């Protein structure tokens, strides 16, 4: 019996006894490495799995072509996949429904938390009508796709454990905004960023940028990696608070530049690459894979979390 088949036996015994489990629960129960566990679960005919949610484009400067799909293969397996015996589809579907409900609840809670935090930080700006009409606050990332997770992970710069998905915030300042507004908003957010990171009641990573519409207009040419990221983030963003007119103006900038079509093409490239990566990782034995293959399985940013 091969190592993969033996591991699949252990998985089957576990889910037959305990019922369908997420990849993370199986990882904890069996102590197996993420890659061999994923291989066993998705290739053995005695096991069935369901992936919850959706995949969406992420841009990664470390990759040729910059584009990949999120969640990573390993994140998708650990957090968004349930595995059960193939001969008990009803139990698997029930577990998948429970996981989908949990992900939806986390995403709603994260959205509420982001709105609460930004309402607090920008309260004095929003209270002044002459200022409030000149900016908006939007959210992007996992939350807008309904794919937020609450798996504890270390924040990159401090190592503090945070509550899963970060809060990706973009503050857009209108063309006719008063001088100094962007700087004042930046300083206000920065002053509270580490409070929300360290406060046990939050432990939220606030990843933010403040910029004028003029900057987004220049970025819409998508001449480099960072411009591509800025456009992708603003295209997916949802309004949290502030002026809806400024928010719509930002969307119109991207529409006028044809950014949507270019990002859709990147999404198709990412989907094709993902299929090829999965095929390689499933086809080759563990000892034939090299270090670069791990970059197909999870991202560099996730390496500290998954090791």
Q: Could you report the per-residue pLDDT of 188-216, keeping only the tens digit for each?
A: 999 999 999 999 999 999 999 999 999 99
Quick check: 229 pLDDT over 90?
yes
pLDDT reported for residue 300: 54
Length in residues, the chain: 307
Q: What is the pTM (predicted TM-score) of this model?
A: 0.90
Residues 6+ apart with CB under 8 A from 173: 134, 135, 181, 182, 185, 210, 211, 212, 213, 246
Q: What is the pLDDT of residues 249-305, one digit of tens each?
A: 999 999 999 999 999 999 999 999 999 989 989 988 777 777 777 777 876 565 444
pLDDT reported for residue 169: 98
pLDDT reported for residue 252: 98
pLDDT reported for residue 301: 60
Looking at the chain, list the stretches that DSSP marks H as alpha helix, in order from N- to C-terminal side: 3-18, 23-30, 34-43, 73-80, 89-121, 123-126, 129-132, 181-198, 213-219, 225-236, 244-256, 259-283, 291-297, 303-306
Give the angle subtended at the CA of 164 by the CAs of 67 and 96, to the nearest 5°: 85
pLDDT reported for residue 307: 42
Cα gap 45→86, rounded to integer Å: 7
Domains in the chain, start-ordered, CATH in brackets?
3-87+267-306 (no CATH), 102-257 (3.30.460.10)
Max distance between CA atoms of the chain, in angstroms, equals 73
- The whole-number average pLDDT for the span 167-194 is 97
Quick check: 73 pLDDT over 90?
yes
pLDDT reported for residue 248: 98
Q: What is the pLDDT of residues 150-163, one digit of tens each?
A: 999 999 889 999 99
Q: Which one has a higher pLDDT value, 303 or 59? A: 59
- The whole-number average pLDDT for the span 245-251 is 98
Structure tokens, 112: 């509420």
- With a pLDDT cut of 90, the percent of the chain lying above it is 85
Specify the range with the lowest mean pLDDT, choosing from 46-55, 126-135, 272-281: 272-281
Q: Is 213 exposed, middle or buried (0-12, 13-18, 19+ CB in 10 A)?
A: buried
- The whole-number average pLDDT for the span 149-176 is 93
pLDDT reported for residue 1: 57
- The whole-number average pLDDT for the span 106-122 is 97
pLDDT reported for residue 290: 74
């Amino acid at each position: 019996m091969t190592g993969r088949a033996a591991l699949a036996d252990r998985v089957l015994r576990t889910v037959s006894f305990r019922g369908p489990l997420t990849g993370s629960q199986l990882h904890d129960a069996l102590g197996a490495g993420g890659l061999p566990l994923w291989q066993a679960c998705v290739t053995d005919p005695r096991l069935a799995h369901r992936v919850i949610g959706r995949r969406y484009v992420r841009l990664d400067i470390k990759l040729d072509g910059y584009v990949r799909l999120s969640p990573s293969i390993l994140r998708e397996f650990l957090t968004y996949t349930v595995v059960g015996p193939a001969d008990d589809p009803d139990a698997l579907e029930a577990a998948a429904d429970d996981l989908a409900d949990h992900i939806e609840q986390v995403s709603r809670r994260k959205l509420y938390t982001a709105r609460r935090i930004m309402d607090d930080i920008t309260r004095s700006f929003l209270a002044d009508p002459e200022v409030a009409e000149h900016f908006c606050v939007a959210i992007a990332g996992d939350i807008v796709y309904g794919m937020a997770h609450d798996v504890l992970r270390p924040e990159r710069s401090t190592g503090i454990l945070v509550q899963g998905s970060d809060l990706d915030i973009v503050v857009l300042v209108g063309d006719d905004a008063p001088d100094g507004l962007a700087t004042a908003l930046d300083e206000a957010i920065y002053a509270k960023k580490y409070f929300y990171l360290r406060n046990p009641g939050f432990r939220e990573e606030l990843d933010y940028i403040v910029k004028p519409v003029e900057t987004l207009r220049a970025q819409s040419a998508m001449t480099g990696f960072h411009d591509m990221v800025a456009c992708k983030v603003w295209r997916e963003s949802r309004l949290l608070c502030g002026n809806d007119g400024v928010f719509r103006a930002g969307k119109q900038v991207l529409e006028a530049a044809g950014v949507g079509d270019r990002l859709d093409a990147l999404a198709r490239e990412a989907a094709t690459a993902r299929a090829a990566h999965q095929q390689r990782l499933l086809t080759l034995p563990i000892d034939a894979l090299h270090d670069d293959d791990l970059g197909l399985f999870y991202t560099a940013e996730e390496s500290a979390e998954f090791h």
